[in-house]
Amino acid sequence: MIISVASGKGGTGKTLVTTNMAASIGGVELVDCDVEEPNSYLFFPNRDEEASSDCTVTIPLIYEDKCTRCGRCSEFCAYNALAVFPKQVLLFKELCHGCGGCALVCPEGAISEGTRSIGKIHMAASGDVRLLWGELSLGEPMATPLIRSVKAEAKGDLVLIDSPPGTACPVIEAVRGSDFCLLVTEPTPFGLYDLSIAVQVVREMKIPCGVVVNRGGVGDQGVYNYCAKEDIPILLEIPMKRKIAELTSRGVLFSEVITEWQQKFVDLIGKIEEEIK
């Protein structure tokens, strides 16, 4: 079973929910797909030795001695990654999506496929929790290939995916293929607005979803009314407590200190299984 944890905005508590759920249940794979700023692994300081590998993407290699400057490659490229000039073909590698189409349309066979690294895939373990996370190289604009590669390393029976914030392409790639998407929100007008967008996304992807309300007790009833109207189950509510905030800010899993929450996160998995059935 693959459970993705997402939200429509940053700072709602996706990592809070995912890490405490993983530690409480045990025997899971925790995949941090927020590759621009991964932090799930920081909540597991007692990690064994980490293993890392490069994440590479395909880019075209131009053989200038064969190129006749016909311009078919640049005409084909939907992302404007190639520009043909009288004496040179310029490649803007950050714009290239690695589709390989330019090599197919080149009549002179002047283009072949090469690779370049866009980031790192890290793997470690803390007890019976296997940790996977990606780290995008500085200046890289496309996170989706790295997210896809990190997810491909997850092989366990229960996989928890900590998604990036927002509802753009990285989030869609992170939640793709999930059996269930847990949407974390907060009971404020901002939380409601972003939750409604996230719900539209997962429904379009035909992924069943439920809600975790974080910082319960602040704001208004807008989120609760919306979930009731849209028939979206609220599976857990985490209250606005100073102790939880203090522990999390220090990188401590609050469920390991406030131990009654461990069973609540175990019960959360049970509720998700019931929703999937």
**The overall pTM is greater than 0.75:** yes
What single-letter DSSP state applies at residue 164? P
Say if CB 81 and CB 58 are below 8 A apart: no
218-261 pLDDT, tens digit each: 989 999 999 999 999 999 999 999 999 999 999 999 999 999 99
Say if CB 239 and CB 217 are below 8 A apart: yes
Say if CB 146 and CB 136 are below 8 A apart: yes
Report the phi/psi class of residue 166: left, alpha or beta, with left for phi > 0 and alpha for psi in -120 to 50: left
Look up residue 197 and give its amino acid. Answer: I
Helix, strand or coil for residue 92?
coil
Tell me what percent of the chain is helix, strand and coil, each rounded to the nearest 5: 35, 25, 40
Six-digit token pair at 166?
A: 């927002």
Instruction: Write down the domain spans for the chain.
Output: 2-46+127-276, 57-117
Give the domain 57-117 fold: Alpha-Beta Plaits (3.30.70)
Q: How confident is the model at residue 277 (pLDDT cuts 50, 70, 90)?
A: confident
CA-wise closest residue to 147 among 133, 128, 157: 133
At residue 43, what are phi and psi to the nearest 5 degrees?
A: -80, 0
Mean pLDDT of the chain: 96
**2-46+127-276 falls under which CATH superfamily?**
P-loop containing nucleotide triphosphate hydrolases (3.40.50.300)
* Cα(70)–Cα(176) distance, integer angstroms: 39
Say if CB 121 and CB 52 are below 8 A apart: yes
103-144 pLDDT, tens digit each: 999 999 999 999 999 999 999 999 999 999 999 999 999 999
